[in-house]
């Protein structure tokens, strides 16, 4: 059974040196791991790609569910994990929530993994 990671606020982009820059502190490693853990589920990676492809207008659960062949409630659960990791954000419009990527968080995570990627 995997060990549960502590619950921390990870809504802001990770700010640390790249992995190859030297040994990370445990606190920094935890911040990176929490964000990467959200991407550890293939359906979440797919959802993130769909949110990125939707652009600035965002995309709602109703449109995402058929694209990944899951129920809206299951998609909402996965989107919640991505939102909790600070990788996407949602804006309510009537009965729908439109999700958009948090590009600064995604770019920061890319720079931690590979400083030459962005």
Count how many domains the chain has. 1
> Does some domain include residue 26?
no
CATH classification at residue 75: 1.10.10.10
Q: How does pLDDT run across 28-56, given as a tens digit for each residue?
A: 788 778 888 999 999 999 999 999 999 88
Strands (E), the chain: 59-60, 88-93, 96-101
pLDDT the model gives residue 14: 54
> Does some domain include residue 88?
yes
> Does some domain include residue 50?
yes
The predicted model scores a pTM of 0.77
Q: How does pLDDT run across 82-118, given as a tens digit for each residue?
A: 999 999 999 999 999 999 999 988 888 887 777 776 5
> Does some domain include residue 73?
yes
> Does some domain include residue 12?
no
The two tokens of residue 109 are: 């995570």
């Amino acid at each position: 059974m995997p060990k549960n990671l502590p619950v921390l606020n990870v809504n802001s982009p990770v700010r640390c040196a790249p992995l190859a820059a030297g040994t990370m502190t445990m606190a920094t490693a935890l911040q990176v791991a929490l964000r990467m853990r959200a991407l550890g589920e293939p359906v979440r990676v797919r959802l993130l790609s769909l949110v990125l492809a939707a652009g600035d207008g965002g995309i709602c659960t109703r449109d995402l569910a058929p694209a990944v062949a899951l129920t809206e409630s299951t998609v909402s659960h996965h989107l919640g994990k991505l939102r909790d990791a600070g990788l996407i954000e949602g804006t309510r419009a009537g009965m729908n929530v439109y999700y958009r990527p948090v590009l600064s968080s995604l770019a920061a995570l890319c720079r931690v993994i590979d400083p030459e990627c962005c």
